[in-house]
Homo-oligomer: A and B are copies of this chain.
Amino acid sequence: MDAFFNPQSLAIIGASNRKFNLGATICSTLKHLNFDKPIYTVNRKGEDVLGCKGFTSLHDIPGEIDLAIIIVPARVAPNIMEECGKKGITNVIIETSEFSEAGEEGKLLQDQISEIAIQYNIRFIGPNCLGVLNTHNNFNSFFGVKPGLYDKIFKRPGTISYVIQSGVIGTIIMDSFNHEVGNTNKMVCIGNKEDINEADLLDYFNKDNTEVIGMYLESIKNYDRFLEAAKRSTKPILIYKSGRTSAGAEAALHHTASPSSNETLFDKEGANAGLIRVNTITELHSMPKIFTRMPLLKGKRIAIFTNSGAFGGISSDLLIETGFEVPALSKELQEKLINTGRLFNASNPIDLGPTLARQTFRDIFNILLSSDEIDGLLAIPNIWKHTVTEAVLELEDICREYGKPAAIYIPHAVERILTIRKEYNIPSFTSAEEAVRALSISYNYYLTKRRNHRGGKNE
């Protein structure tokens, strides 16, 4: 599998200097990103493309090829696949579309390719896909990308790996990391997934430097294998599954030839296997930080820390409605809190009012997180002073010290929230709902993993 993500040499079949050639945009992106392994191109004229040496056939390329990217018309693809086999190439990405998603004729071509792959022991991604992107080595097989679009993504490689069945979704996720903490590690756009599918990638991402796995799927290729892989996973898997309704499934069929699945069953068995179903595409990039930046939530009792009376009430509602507890704090704990400064309310929600001393914030965080009365924190500080920002930054360390998470929401208009988050790298959410949702995801993941660890027995 590793050759898909870390190819030591690369052939792009179908890249040429013709106008609008998609293969050329891959060469261009790789050059722009300074990908430092040999890149060869294969085209009818055997011409070089943007500095990538050109050949008329794969056969003529000297030495071994680690990975072939096929981006020729569908009807020619089987021949090229055969050439790959003869050249001894075992890893192929087929980006070409017009296969099974386009009808019966395409389906036959896809079957042909599959047979050739089996014959020559080739593993392949696609067809009808964008392939692979790895921020840790500047490898990127996505076509149609404007140079510069992914620069920010590749500048600070992350630990969140994605399996997606749509280029648009991939682009939205990566682009979102411009205003989100963390970043993409690897991303695979699997298209019609005739060979390599979501289960293979779950296993692979469990062995590499990935911390959290995100998936956008329109179908599940092999239901049982997928659930087994999910069960094996020691890393959280966030999954958005479209095609939940027959209308949605019908639409997916036109997109990536995805057959519909039994949603009710998947919902139940997926949850048992530890899959975290997300409600929106946004959650695929907003939720990982509750895992990468905070300890797991191991209990239901949440303390609310805020300097806004309104958000004390709003977030109490949200927590209770989500199944959490907002316990009244003991007299002893309240006294400790009162001693830190001039508080509006020392019960739960803890309302600071206009107090804005860094030490008060720090003291309260320590008192709450060290107490055995609470399991986690919902922190809603209305930040408009630098001193407070620093206190909120320290919160992450305090959470780690006590092994309890905080979900942070800084109540402002979303533009301002994004600006503060980017500037200070605070793992904050963009709404109280999102913060409560993160706590819920963390807690449910903890419960499932504990249950599976105990052999599937519920308490």
Contact = CB atoms under 8 A, between A and B. Distances in A.
A304 B250 CA distance: 13
Contact of A413 (B176, B309, B321, B412): B176
A238 to B, nearest CB: 16
Contacts of A178: 413, 415
A256 interface: yes
A102 to B, nearest CB: 10
A248 B168 contact: no
B411 A282 contact: no
A316 B249 CA distance: 8
A250 B319 CA distance: 14
A267 B319 CA distance: 19
Nearest to A174: B413
B248 A320 contact: yes
Nearest to A314: B242
Interface in A301-331: 304, 308-314, 316-317, 319-321, 326
A228 B411 CA distance: 33
Given A254-B309, A308-B168, A312-B251, A245 B321 contact: yes
Contacts of A304: 251
Contact of A216 (B248, B310, B319): B310
A273 interface: no
A165 B308 CA distance: 12
A319 B431 contact: no
Contacts of A244: 317, 321
A206 B196 CA distance: 61
B312 A255 contact: yes
Contacts of A280: 431, 433
A313 B242 contact: yes
Contacts of A344: 254
Interface in A374-388: 382
A266 to B, nearest CB: 13
A108 B349 CA distance: 26
A394 to B, nearest CB: 23
Contacts of A321: 244-245
A169 interface: yes
A319 B412 contact: no
A313 B252 contact: yes
Most buried by B among A179, A310, A316, A418: A310
Interface string A234-276: 0000000011111111111011100000000000000000000
Nearest to A243: B313
A307 to B, nearest CB: 9
Contacts of A159: none
A168 B311 contact: yes
A179 B254 CA distance: 35
B218 A168 contact: no
Most buried by B among A168, A304, A313: A313
A255 B310 contact: yes
Contacts of A166: 308-310
A351 interface: yes
A110 B248 CA distance: 57
Contact of A243 (B165, B251, B256, B317): B317
A280 to B, nearest CB: 6
Contacts of A411: 168, 172
Interface string A208-232: 0000000010100000000000000
A59 interface: no
Given A168-B382, A179-B414, A281-B314, 20 more contacts: A166-B309, A168-B310, A172-B413, A243-B313, A245-B317, A245-B321, A246-B320, A247-B319, A248-B313, A248-B316, A251-B309, A251-B312, A251-B316, A251-B351, A252-B309, A279-B433, A281-B431, A282-B414, A414-B418, A415-B418
The 3 closest A-B CB pairs, nearest first, are: A255-B309, A166-B310, A248-B317
14 contacts: A166-B309, A166-B310, A169-B310, A176-B413, A218-B310, A243-B313, A244-B321, A245-B321, A247-B316, A247-B326, A251-B312, A254-B351, A255-B313, A415-B418
Interface of A: 165-166, 168-169, 172, 175-176, 178-179, 216, 218, 242-252, 254-256, 279-282, 304, 308-314, 316-317, 319-321, 326, 344-345, 349, 351, 382, 411-416, 418, 430-433
